[in-house]
Amino acid sequence: MRTLTSLFCVSFFALSLLALAPAAANTNALSEAELMAKAQLFVTEMADEAVSILTTQKTREGREEGFRALLEQRANMRRIARFTLGQFARQISDEDFETYQALLNEMIVKVYANRLGEYSDERVIVGTGQSKKRNFIINSKIEFANGRQPIPIDWWLVREKDGSFSLFDVRVLGVWMAQEQRDSFSSVLKNNKGDIDTLLQHIRQQISGGKSDAVTNG
């Protein structure tokens, strides 16, 4: 069991992270049970790192910097960025993709990480999981000190070729966070004839806290 200061921390990990755990020697020889144990430990360690940021960084700027560093250290945002673009990932130019990925990173930090101070004294309890080939789904729940109903959290991990694990998505209350973001971005693009500039503007407005009307443009 680990203490976590916010439900939004978990959502942040859905759009951010693809965090990589250290590769073990001769990982191909590990049993399914050993791999599952490593996946469960990976989830626990992510919560610990979030707690460290939250307990040492008391300002908004400090939290942003901490989670920005966490992304740089552990996340493969290129994969998440490609995924959240959906079918439009095949149409975007390399230059626009680099801009999009940078904005997506910043949106994750700004929109999600800055909400972390709204909750306190919660516990993340990591449970069992299931696996299929390189994909691992680890179950957990957030328990609240005030007696509020626990919230189920599912973590979708991918085992990389080098034996490490990466986080692909997080399901909170039945909703996969990265997939929900992909649906939102796809709606913006479809309603604007695939214009990537409109999507980039939409994300910039999300970062600045403004309300985008991009999805209403025909």
Give 31-73 pLDDT, tens digit per residue: 999 999 999 998 888 877 876 787 788 788 888 898 888 777 7
pLDDT of residue 1: 46
pLDDT of residue 166: 85
pLDDT of residue 78: 85
pLDDT of residue 116: 59
Measured CA to CA, the distance from residue 107 to residue 99 in angstroms comes to 12
Which of the given ranges, 66-70, 112-116, 158-162, has the highest pLDDT on average?
Answer: 158-162
Torsion angle of alpha carbons 155, 116, 47, 110, nearest 10°?
A: 70
Give the predicted TM-score (pTM) of the model. 0.74
The stretch 64-92 carries a mean pLDDT of 86
Dihedral of alpha carbons 105, 163, 87, 171, sign: negative
Candidate from 33-47, 103-117, 131-145 with smallest mean pLDDT: 103-117
CB 179 within 8 A of CB 11: no
Measured CA to CA, the distance from residue 109 to residue 176 in angstroms comes to 18
Is residue 85 within a helix (H) or strand (E), and if so which, with residue range?
Answer: helix 77-85
- In terms of DSSP bridges, do strands 122-132 and 151-159 run parallel, antiparallel, or are they unpaired? unpaired
Q: What are the structural domains, with CATH classification, of the chain? A: 2-213 (3.10.450.710)
Q: What percent of the chain has pLDDT over 70?
A: 78
The per-residue pLDDT of the chain, averaged, comes to 80
pLDDT in tens, 144-158: 878 889 989 898 898
Q: Assign 8 a pLDDT band (cuts: 50, 70, 90).
A: very low
Instruction: Please name the residues in contact with 202: beta carbons below 8 A apart, sequence gap of 6 or more.
Output: 185, 188, 212, 214, 215
Residue type, position 171, single letter: R
